[in-house]
Amino acid sequence: MTSDNKSTTTADKMKSVKAAWDKAPSGPKKDAAKKHYDAAEKAHTAKNDAETNKELDAAKHALA
């Protein structure tokens, strides 16, 4: 159950970061965040939650 819960949390985090990226104005911050988000999607597809979360945190930080 823990892994299901973790996946749900990761999926929710992906949705949250994607929503923030969608609202962000165009520019270098959005471009940098997109690279991290794309990497997070790749890691998520590979079922690597640790890497996914790392990239999502980096994307969130890039948008800040």
**Statement: residue 64 has pLDDT above 80:** yes
At residue 1, the pLDDT reads 37
Q: 55: closest CA among 38, 36, 31, 30?
A: 36
d(Cα 57, Cα 47) in Å, to the nearest integer? Answer: 17
CB neighbours of 50 closer than 8 A, spacing ≥ 6? none
pLDDT digits (tens, 9 = 90+) for 21-55: 999 999 999 999 999 999 999 999 999 999 999 99
Q: Which long-range contacts (CB under 8 A, 24 or more apart) does 4-8 make?
A: 6/49, 7/49
